[in-house]
């Protein structure tokens, strides 16, 4: 079973992402911000990271940069799921090494479809 690290500082968003992904057959581990996610990512293996952008302590783009610096996460797909939709932010995400940019609110079926396309 594929494992996904779901990162969001909003408890309701974490619950909805987990609900959607668990129903689709994924194993989901939740993290409350980028720092928490980085620590959890280093403690076990994940097939994909799905992260929010605006979070306390460490945002999604910083988390992406930090994960990409580690050879362990060189090819792990990282999707940023955020309310931010500006081209400038998307480019920053791309430059940091993100695999894709999803704008909230997400459609459950579409989210599962996109994850299915990129997960390893």
Partner 1 sequence: MLAQDSSPPPHGAGLPPPGDAGLPLLAAADLQDHLMVAQNDLERLQRLLTDACDQLLVHFYGASGELRTLLAQGAHGAVDGPAAGLPGALEAAQLHKAMEHMAGAITAMQFQDMASQLVAHTSRRLRNCADRLAAQAMGDDDEDGSAVVEEMPLRPNPVTQDEMDAGSVELF
Q: Give me the residue label for tokens 């996610």.
A: 37
The binding site for partner 1 (CB under 8 A) comprises: 8, 10, 12-13, 15-16, 19-20, 23, 53-54, 82-86, 90, 93-94, 98-110, 114, 117-118
Residue whose CB is less far from partner 1, 75 or 86 = 86
Residue whose CB is less far from partner 1, 39 or 93 = 93
- Alpha helix positions (H), 2-107: 11-23, 34-43, 60-69, 87-96
The helix or strand, by DSSP H or E, that contains position 115, with its residue range, turns out to be helix 108-118
Residue 55, strand partner residues = none
Instruction: For the CB of residue 25, give the shortest distance to partner 1 in the complex, in Å.
Output: 13
Residue whose CB is less far from partner 1, 37 or 81 = 81
Residue 20 phi, psi (nearest 5): -65, -45
Instruction: For the CB of residue 41, give the shortest distance to partner 1 in the complex, in Å.
Output: 20
């Amino acid at each position: 079973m594929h494992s996904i690290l779901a990162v969001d500082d909003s408890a309701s968003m974490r619950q909805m992402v987990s609900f959607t992904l668990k129903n689709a057959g994924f194993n989901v581990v939740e993290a409350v911000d980028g720092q928490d996610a980085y620590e959890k990512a280093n403690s076990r293996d994940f097939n994909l990271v799905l992260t929010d952008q605006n979070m306390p302590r460490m945002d999604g783009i910083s988390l992406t940069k930090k994960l990409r610096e580690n050879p362990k996460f060189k090819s792990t797909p990282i999707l940023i799921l955020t309310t931010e939709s500006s081209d400038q932010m998307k480019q920053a995400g791309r430059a940091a090494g993100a695999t894709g940019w999803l704008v909230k609110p997400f459609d459950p079926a579409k989210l599962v479809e996109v994850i299915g396309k990129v997960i390893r």
